[in-house]
Structure 1
């Protein structure tokens, strides 16, 4: 892809990505350039709260923290003007700003919509549909390396979104296990348990998948490995869910 450096009109269809490094792409696939750190930080914060009002005080915190310049109001207006000049639809609302984006125009909104659809399918007992929607949600993530911009406030929000992503991974695996896909999940679960050794739900899911494929001894080894990690690093015993899966496997269920 080429990087666009010209201004664009508000009629251009822009697509935004925040689930990974920030991207702004035009309808022809070219990338819209946002130089420096202030413009990307400002746009990222607005996109994290797309279609919602963000107060000026919050934007000032993101851009300058506790030491804003005396001219922060005019500086902020200048940055907003520059973003608008690239066709980015930002409107002033009261004492703040809002960016209006369609669900399909922002990966974060698509992620949230697909995750919600997956959870609704789970409540209906339609695990096939749930798995499809939840996997679609996870495909929106290009990278867990969000907010390469050095802005502490953005890093906190990125961490919150990463927590949401992990929760969707857990829900997706539960749905796929309910669909009888244990064998297909073994490689992914092995990686997840190694990456997140203190997340008991991943360990329980891996144990269930191993047991479902006839590998009960390995499932029990995963329990012992998880228990040791919890005791050594947190000083706690496994929780109820992990213990129940352990007991079911011991009883041959």
Structure 2
């Protein structure tokens, strides 16, 4: 329930939605009682941190009355959008810092801290998939920026990890191949030239070639 409220921080969430998220299999009367109990317990928990009014009762439901940026996912969305805007304006350094700030908010898979049975809920699964897809897209947007800036050597290592974790995503594979192409061509980008092969940390080029050799579907 708190996850749903946090994902909609500052906005009213209908009680019916909260009930369907958590108590879909319970009777209407039982579920409504459970909802009131959980809200009371959450308010008590917030009160111990000096914020007894964090969960507000609103017509037809409840609202988590906190700044949206206090929830990492909302801060991530704001920073990533600002990064894209900065990139469009040609402010490369600003865009890079914003992309990095957005991605550093992630500490693992979305909503992974939820325990069963809540983690098995369809609503939670779909939301986790949506957030993960957005994270990967932002990571790849940042890679495009780094490619354009000539950060080919460090980026190749990062992309090798990314492609190994998500071998069916075509965009990072193409980005990795382009980064390696720049490393092989001394006339392209700041990181070009054979010297980078010798300097590449941890055998990153060998790792990249191993990743690109992995079998792929289709």
Taking structure 2 as the reference length, the TM-score comes to: 0.77
User: Aligned partners of 2:78, 2:109: CA distance in 1, in Å?
Assistant: 19
Are 1:53 and 2:12 matched, yes or no?
Answer: yes
Whose RCO is larger (CA < 8 A, sep 6+)? Answer: 1
Displacement after TM superposition at 1:178 (Å): 1.4
The structure with more helix, counted as a fraction of residues: 2
Give the secondary-structure state (helix, strand or coil) at the position aligned to 1:54: strand
Q: 1:149 aligns with which of 106, 110, 115?
A: 115
Aligned alpha-carbon RMSD (Å):
2.5
Matches within 5 A, 1:127-142: 127-142=92-107
Q: 2:138 aligns with which of 163, 168, 171?
A: 168
Displacement after TM superposition at 1:225 (Å): 4.4
Displacement after TM superposition at 1:164 (Å): 0.9
1:195 alignment partner in structure 2: 165
- Contiguous gaps of at least 5 residues in structure 1: 1-41, 232-253
2:202 alignment partner in structure 1: none
2:201 alignment partner in structure 1: none
Are 1:159 and 2:129 matched, yes or no?
Answer: yes
Taking a change above 3 Å as real, the CA distance of residues 138 and 224 of structure 1, as seen in their structure-2 partners, is closer
Taking a change above 3 Å as real, the CA distance of residues 90 and 188 of structure 1, as seen in their structure-2 partners, is same
Aligned residues: 188
Give the secondary-structure state (helix, strand or coil) at the position aligned to 1:91: strand
Q: 2:34 aligns with which of 69, 75, 81?
A: 75
- The answer to whether the Cα contact below 8 Å between 2:55 and 2:65 also exists between their aligned partners in 1 is yes
Taking a change above 3 Å as real, the CA distance of residues 103 and 96 of structure 1, as seen in their structure-2 partners, is closer
Taking structure 1 as the reference length, the TM-score comes to: 0.67
Offset from partner CA, 1:10-53 (integer Å, 9 cap, x none)? xxxxxxxxxxxxxxxxxxxxxxxxxxxxxxxx111111111222
Displacement after TM superposition at 1:101 (Å): 2.0
1:12 alignment partner in structure 2: none
User: Aligned partners of 1:157, 1:68: CA distance in 2, in Å?
Assistant: 25
- The answer to whether the Cα contact below 8 Å between 2:10 and 2:68 also exists between their aligned partners in 1 is no
Displacement after TM superposition at 1:68 (Å): 4.1
- The answer to whether the Cα contact below 8 Å between 1:173 and 1:205 also exists between their aligned partners in 2 is yes
Are 1:207 and 2:157 matched, yes or no?
Answer: no
Are 1:230 and 2:189 matched, yes or no?
Answer: no
User: Aligned partners of 1:149, 1:126: CA distance in 2, in Å?
Assistant: 42
- Contiguous gaps of at least 5 residues in structure 2: 186-191, 193-204
Are 1:124 and 2:83 matched, yes or no?
Answer: no
